[in-house]
């Protein structure tokens, strides 16, 4: 595999085909091949293209050191199903694979019956919720997704992890394309924290504590301690609700008792015609962007706008990753 260095010799450039080849070969070392590897790679590549480097190829290294990667896997199966719902046992497969199936089922059920509630338990590392919400919105549906995860975030006033980073995401169809909102209820996502520790980057103040509960800007110390919720008590309250929704999604049925992925898809015409919703979403975007800007602000961006813009550019120009990440991925795939 050929690649090139940037002026910063710690960065490696890969074109899209090189990045996909590296991802698929690396995933084979973790036991994912064929269609499964392609599904996971599609997710990782989209994250990288949208500017979320920590959710791109470095995520393979996170999976490689997860205790769950070497535990037995069983086929994905439906535990309970109705015309408008489904609960999946993920069989200990990585969440980027199980949520791919869950998203498709939610789209199909919502299109036929108007609404769908789909959940996945016994799975882990679901990736960017925005990826699935964009699929739902592109299908002409409104989507809501929550993810409860392992305890790495301290409750408000606490010093040890008790909640997951617990993202919540939404997808809305618009006339000019989908509008996607995706945010973690933690001050920093876990995969972002891991990449910052790998790079030796300092954290912003007041977003993490060390193993003694003391505030820290050292990412490595934060890995051994806990992340704080964003927005203080408000972020904690939202994270708590998402953890409870994880219980609804069957987290207690999983061996770790923490992971629960919940996806809701809604056909707009249960309430308003699809075309009316799309027009209203676009009008909302226009109104927001027309707001007078404060001094020093060049533009007002709505959620997902930057990511979609960067994806278009990176599809043309390729992606950059840390040389250390590149070398570790190659170590998983010596034939490259």
- Residue 51's CATH number: 1.10.1530.10
List the pLDDT tens digit at each of the 336 positions of the chain.
455 555 567 999 999 999 999 999 999 999 999 999 999 999 999 999 999 999 999 999 999 999 999 899 999 999 999 999 999 999 999 999 999 999 999 999 999 999 999 999 999 999 999 999 999 999 999 999 999 999 999 999 999 999 999 999 999 999 999 999 999 999 999 999 999 999 999 999 999 999 999 999 999 999 999 999 999 999 999 999 999 999 999 999 987 899 999 999 999 999 999 999 999 999 999 999 999 999 999 999 999 999 999 999 999 999 999 999 999 999 998 655
DSSP strands (E only) in the chain: 4-5, 11-14, 77-82, 85-89, 115-121, 142-148, 168-172, 179-183, 208-209, 226-227, 260-266, 319-322
Same domain, 281 and 132: yes
In a domain, 299, yes or no: no
First vs last C-alpha separation in the chain: 6
pLDDT (0 to 100) of residue 316: 95
pLDDT (0 to 100) of residue 282: 98
DSSP strands (E only) in 30-150: 77-82, 85-89, 115-121, 142-148
pLDDT (0 to 100) of residue 9: 79
Same domain, 168 and 236: yes
Same domain, 109 and 147: yes
Is residue 229 within 8 Å of 153, Cβ to Cβ? yes
In a domain, 210, yes or no: no
Q: What is the pTM of this model?
A: 0.94
CA nearest to 243, candidates 254, 257, 231: 257
pLDDT (0 to 100) of residue 326: 96
Instruction: Report how far residue 224's alpha carbon sits from residue 237's, in angstroms, rounded to the nearest whole number.
Output: 24
pLDDT (0 to 100) of residue 4: 57
pLDDT (0 to 100) of residue 7: 54
Instruction: Report how far residue 318's alpha carbon sits from residue 14's, in angstroms, rounded to the nearest whole number.
Output: 6
Same domain, 248 and 331: no
Q: How many folded domains does the chain comprise? A: 2
Same domain, 270 and 320: no
pLDDT (0 to 100) of residue 245: 98
Tally the residues of the chain. Answer: 336
CA 286 to chain centre: 27
Instruction: Report how far residue 136's alpha carbon sits from residue 130's, in angstroms, rounded to the nearest whole number.
Output: 10
Same domain, 18 and 102: no
Determine the structural domain holding residue 319 and report its residue range.
Answer: 1-65+305-336
In a domain, 200, yes or no: no
């Amino acid at each position: 595999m050929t690649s090139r260095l940037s002026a910063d010799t710690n960065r490696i450039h890969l074109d899209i085909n090189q990045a996909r080849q590296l991802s698929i070969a690396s995933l084979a070392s973790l036991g994912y091949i064929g269609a499964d590897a392609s599904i996971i790679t599609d997710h990782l590549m989209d994250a990288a293209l949208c500017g979320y480097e920590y959710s791109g190829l470095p995520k393979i290294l996170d999976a490689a050191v997860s205790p769950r990667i070497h535990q037995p896997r069983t086929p994905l199966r439906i535990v309970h199903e109705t015309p408008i719902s489904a609960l999946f046992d993920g069989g200990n497969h990585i969440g980027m694979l199980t949520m791919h199936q869950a998203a498709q089922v939610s789209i199909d059920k919502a299109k036929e019956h108007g609404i769908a509630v789909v959940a996945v338990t016994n799975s882990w590392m679901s990736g960017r919720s925005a990826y699935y919400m964009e699929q739902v919105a592109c299908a002409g549906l409104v989507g809501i997704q929550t993810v409860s995860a392992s305890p790495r975030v301290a409750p408000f006033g606490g010093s040890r992890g008790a909640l997951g980073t617990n993202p919540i995401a939404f997808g809305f169809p618009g006339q000019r394309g989908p509008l996607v909102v995706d945010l973690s209820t933690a001050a920093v996502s876990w995969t972002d924290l891991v990449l910052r520790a790998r790079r030796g980057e300092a954290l912003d103040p007041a977003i993490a504590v060390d193993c003694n509960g003391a505030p820290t800007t050292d990412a490595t110390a934060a890995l051994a301690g806990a992340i704080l919720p964003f927005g203080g008590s408000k972020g904690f309250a939202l994270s708590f609700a998402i953890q409870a929704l994880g219980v609804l999604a069957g987290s207690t049925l999983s061996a770790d008792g923490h992971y629960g992925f919940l996806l809701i898809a809604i056909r707009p015409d249960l309430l308003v015609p699809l075309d009316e919703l799309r027009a209203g979403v676009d009008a909302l975007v226009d109104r927001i962007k027309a707001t007078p800007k404060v001094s020093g602000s060049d533009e007002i961006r709505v959620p997902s706008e930057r990511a979609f813009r960067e994806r278009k550019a990176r599809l043309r120009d390729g992606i950059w990753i840390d040389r250390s990440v590149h070398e570790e991925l190659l170590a998983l795939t010596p034939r490259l």
